[in-house]
């Protein structure tokens, strides 16, 4: 059953460091919102690489891409790929053959505004770092999900991203209300954190001072889902899938306990979710 929001919101999924799980998170978040009935579009801003279509399982159906639309070589209707699982989820893939300089604010803004006419949420899957493509993905955002691993270099780079969100977005330029920020910690292991091999959830929160949206545990199911072209949130039996589902509930304002941040006890091991 489809829902309809009064206004469309643009959400950027971003990080300072590569390899932290942005595309996995973009796929899970967009799928989770669509599953809850919201009409959702997810855009791959990583021009030159393009991985979102692989994670979403639609790589063989890519004919036109984001840059084709930007340059007037295809319409949005031609380039958008409808998800196989949810009728209200659409993917706009990146180009593998163009340069990131192909994106400019006016053209990206035009695409975003056109999408706003028919979608409730637009998810922007940002490339890592602070180069042009990443800044472009952040520029039109209403909300930002900052993805970080619980390690010092990843958290430090995320802190830099927070500065860009606060100063170089369209909202900042127009003097509007700040982008609403959410923290998503990925690849977390309570056991390793307890040994001091990685930062604790509290450590990351204290450094970044961003409201915690979710903690995604280390899980083999993430890699397996990615290889199969299925967003891990669809794996309802895995702890990672359940953690992403919990994050969606929190994003939509539901009170949801924060699971997977403590070491598993005997009852959780016997009756809880599998880490496989």
Q: pLDDT of 36-80, one tens digit each?
A: 999 999 999 998 788 999 999 999 999 999 999 999 999 999 999
pTM of the model: 0.92
From 190, 189, 183, select the one nearest 148 (Cα to Cα). 183
Q: What pLDDT shows up at residue 2?
A: 61
Q: What pLDDT shows up at residue 266?
A: 39
pLDDT classification of 184: cutoffs 50, 70, 90: very high
- The H or E element that residue 69 is part of is helix 66-70
With beta carbons less than 8 A apart as the criterion, state whether 222 and 24 touch. yes
Q: What pLDDT shows up at residue 66?
A: 95
Residue 81 DSSP label: E
What value does the mean pLDDT of the chain take?
91
Q: What pLDDT shows up at residue 265?
A: 44
In the predicted structure, residue 1 carries a pLDDT above the cut 90: no
Strands (E), the chain: 9-14, 40-44, 81-82, 89-92, 121-125, 143-148, 180-188, 212-217
From 70, 56, 1, select the one nearest 23 (Cα to Cα). 56
pLDDT of 201-227, one tens digit each? Answer: 999 999 999 999 999 999 999 999 999
With beta carbons less than 8 A apart as the criterion, state whether 107 and 57 touch. no
In the predicted structure, residue 26 carries a pLDDT above the cut 80: yes
Q: What pLDDT shows up at residue 12?
A: 98
Backbone φ/ψ region at 21: left (φ over 0), alpha (ψ -120 to 50), beta: left
């Amino acid at each position: 059953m489809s829902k309809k929001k009064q206004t469309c919101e643009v959400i950027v999924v971003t990080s300072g460091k590569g390899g932290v799980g942005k595309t996995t998170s973009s796929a899970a978040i967009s799928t989770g919102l669509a599953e809850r009935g919201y009409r959702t579009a997810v855009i791959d801003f990583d021009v030159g690489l393009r991985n979102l279509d692989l994670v979403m399982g639609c790589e063989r159906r890519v004919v036109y891409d984001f840059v084709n639309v930007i340059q007037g070589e295809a319409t949005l209707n031609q380039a958008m790929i409808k998800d196989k699982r949810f009728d209200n989820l659409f993917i706009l893939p990146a180009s593998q053959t163009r340069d990131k300089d192909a994106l400019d604010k006016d053209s990206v803004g035009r695409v975003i505004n056109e999408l706003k006419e028919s979608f409730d949420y637009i998810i922007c899957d940002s490339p890592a770092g602070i180069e042009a493509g990443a800044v472009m993905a952040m520029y039109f955002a209403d909300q930002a999900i900052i993805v970080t691993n619980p390690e010092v270099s990843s958290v430090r780079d995320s802190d830099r991203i927070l500065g860009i969100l606060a100063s170089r977005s369209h909202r900042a330029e127009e003097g509007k209300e700040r982008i609403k920020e959410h923290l998503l910690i990925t690849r977390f292991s309570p056991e390793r954190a307890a040994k001091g091999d990685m930062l604790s959830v509290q450590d990351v929160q204290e450094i970044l001072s961003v409201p915690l949206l979710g903690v995604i545990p280390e899980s083999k199911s993430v890699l397996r889902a990615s290889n199969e072209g299925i967003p891990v949130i669809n794996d309802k039996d895995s702890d990672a899938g359940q953690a992403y589902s919990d994050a969606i509930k929190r994003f939509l304002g539901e009170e949801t306990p924060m699971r997977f941040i403590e070491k598993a006890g005997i009852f959780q091991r016997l009756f809880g979710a599998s880490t496989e």
